[in-house]
Amino acid sequence: MNAPDKFTSLLSLTREPFPASHKCVIPGSRPDLFVPVRDVQLTNGETVSLYDTSGPYTDPKVEIDVRRGLPDVRGAWIAERNDTESYEGRMHHALDDGAKNEDRDAQRLAELRAGASALQRTPRRAKSGANVTQMHYARRGIVTPEMEYVALRENGKREWMAEYLANEERAKRVAGNPMGASIPRIITPEFVRDEVARGRAIIPANINHPEVEPMAIGRNFKVKINANIGNSAVTSSIEEEVEKLVWAIRWGADNVMDLSTGKNIHTTRDWIVRNSPVPIGTVPIYQALEKVGGVAEDLTWEIYRDTLIEQAEQGVDYFTIHAGLRLPFIHLTADRMTGIVSRGGSIMAKWCIAHHKESFLYTHFEDICDIMKAYDVSFSLGDGLRPGSGADANDEAQFAELRTLGELTQIAWKHDVQTMIEGPGHVPMHMIQSNMDEQLKHCHEAPFYTLGPLTIDIAPGYDHIASAIGAAMIGWAGTAMLCYVTPKEHLGLPDRDDVKQGIIAYKIAAHAADVAKGHPGARSRDDALSKARFEFRWQDQFNLGLDPDTAREFHDETLPKDSSKVAHFCSMCGPKFCSMKITQEVREYAAKKGVAEAAVLAEGMEEKSKEFMAGGGEMYIPIRAVS
């Protein structure tokens, strides 16, 4: 095969498994249903099983050819429901890729050379009159394989729960505060169905994206994170995008949004969707705007509608649609510090003002629902009026739009279309909770999906941190998915390392939220790592971390010798000052002494200690040595 030069980088996708890790599966109720997890082998013989977003890329047994796309996970499930049909689909226009009509031939030729056409699937859609959304099935009481998949995936193996619960004092002391969430100890397929039925969770899974490994977004599931990738008018190239996807899911992105806006966006999207095991979201107005040469006023419902169908046929799992930005709200931004900062929002605002008309996204909302339910594309109702600075947080523009998103949610649900709600943005810490409260109140527990929020405005270059603070807090409060922010936010396009930095910061935020909510099993990984830390199992400490490579590298900078990885001290304090070493000595010392004392200790320890000390006597010693 004469692969063009431009594929070279794709042929070297990041494919190494994580250290000491291998892919395992949790089997479901049918032979074609099994959920991949990552098992980490510890040096003490234990195994820790982790939720895994990386897809087949970290499985050396799977051969991957990006020119063919990933193996099909759920094609059979879709087919056997017998409510969809394949059809010829919309013709791919040169304009879809930003090329002018006269460029069409050259464009097509380039595509063929690139093998891109081979990646196009024959699209499916609902049969006439059918509704193929997971919500529609759920509301009819059906547990789909997708729901069972999600249940198994959310549960994981929960292998430490028994040990965790065995220490009653600890289990009670660190039990989370769910802040209104109702997370069961075991997630059943029926629970998933019920959550989807009432709109409290979504499973973004377009019928034209059978490669997806189903996952759920909802306040009673693990908090998820989204990473944005995409080229732009100024930099980037198609080849980089697929590796960006692989890189993003490697580090833990549960969803990826393709925000490409330059040339070749149709083709880029084919590449991404066909190679993605995670749901892909887009903002269709970006491509629609390209089609009208970047002139917002020239947008029409017809062009937008055509773009929705184009992307639904490609398999995009959710669309950001700024249908809540209504004409009457635009003037509310006039006194703002930073106006309208959403790209989609500002495009629609410009259109509304130019035409003196209500947004066509709002007036055609039910028409959009009809498209969504024919492919099971989920709504991500966009917050076009989100604040772009702390000064604009929680203002009437923002909340007027949020209330409208709540109304639109009800309409979407009338059509059984899965829906989540986008949220800010820039919000100081003390104003975060009321964002969640308003969202819950007006949007009826539809999953909230927030960008950050950034808690301060003065950290350009570090906005992944400024926003991870807000993300953790709003995640604890009930937000279901956190859209990452990279260190390049406000400054430029993220590169490979920025994407990783953003994802790790958001994995921290999401996990902090899970722990705070008391998600069953969330603490297990923390406990396993803490135990490894205390027992000086350095390799296990690295391998259980969010980024084993960096942890190992940092350790090796000061103590590079292999022997130091089993040393009972580290470079921070040196051998004499290691508190953990001293603690162990204290326990051993205590174990040698005091069998008699241990009996005394067993009853009413502290009171007795006080009496004892008051008398100036000898000391009680620890009951237990290290096992």
**Which positions make up the binding site for substrate?**
228, 257, 286, 322, 342-344, 383-386, 422, 449
Amino acid in the structure at residue 527: D
Instruction: Tell me: does residue 176 bind a second copy (CB under 8 A).
Output: yes
Q: Which of 541, 561, 565, 596 binds a second copy (CB under 8 A)?
A: 541
Q: Which of residues 311-330 bind a second copy (CB under 8 A)?
A: 326-328, 330
Dihedrals phi, psi of 551, to nearest 5 degrees: -60, -45
Amino acid in the structure at residue 193: R
Instruction: Tell me: does residue 303 bind a second copy (CB under 8 A).
Output: no
Q: Which of 26, 79, 309, 621 binds a second copy (CB under 8 A)?
A: 621
Minimum Å distance from CB 161 to a second copy?
14
- Is there a contact between 620 and 597 (Cβ–Cβ < 8 Å)? yes
Minimum Å distance from CB 433 to a second copy?
10
Both structure tokens of 323? 């249908």
Instruction: Tell me: does residue 390 bind a second copy (CB under 8 A).
Output: yes
Handedness of CA 78, 83, 88, 91 (dihedral sign): negative
Instruction: Tell me: does residue 300 bind a second copy (CB under 8 A).
Output: no
Q: Which of residues 229-258 bind a second copy (CB under 8 A)?
A: 232-235
**What is the total count of residues that contact a second copy (CB under 8 A)?**
148
Residue 423 CB neighbour total at 10 angstroms: 27
Instruction: Tell me: does residue 89 bind a second copy (CB under 8 A).
Output: no
Secondary structure of 135-195 in HEC code, one letter for each residue: HHHHHCCCCCHHHHHHHHHHHCCCCCHHHHHHCHHHHHHHCCCCCCCCCCCCCCHHHHHHH
Q: Which of 325, 421, 466, 481 binds a second copy (CB under 8 A)?
A: 466
Window of 5-13, 30-38, 72-80, 390-398 that interacts with a second copy by CB under 8 A: 390-398
Q: Which of 339, 403, 407, 411 binds a second copy (CB under 8 A)?
A: 339
Q: Which residues contact 188 (CB under 8 A, 6 or more apart)?
A: 151
Minimum Å distance from CB 24 to a second copy?
20
Among candidate residues 1, 42, 53, the one with its CA nearest the CA of residue 503: 53
Nearer to a second copy, 262 or 277 (CB): 262
- Which positions from 565 to 604 touch a second copy by CB under 8 A, shown as an x/- string? -----xxxxxxxxxxx-xxxxxx-xx----------x---
Q: Which of residues 494-533 bind a second copy (CB under 8 A)?
A: 495, 504-505, 507-509, 511-513, 515-518, 523, 525-527, 529-531, 533
- Is there a contact between 158 and 521 (Cβ–Cβ < 8 Å)? yes
Instruction: Tell me: does residue 292 bind a second copy (CB under 8 A).
Output: no
Instruction: Tell me: does residue 100 bind a second copy (CB under 8 A).
Output: no
Amino acid in the structure at residue 100: K
Q: Which of 1, 162, 334, 595 binds a second copy (CB under 8 A)?
A: 334
| CB-count exposure of residue 114 (10 Å: 0-12, 13-18, 19+) | buried
Among candidate residues 271, 232, 238, 225, the one with its CA nearest the CA of residue 488: 232
Q: Which of residues 401-440 bind a second copy (CB under 8 A)?
A: 428-431
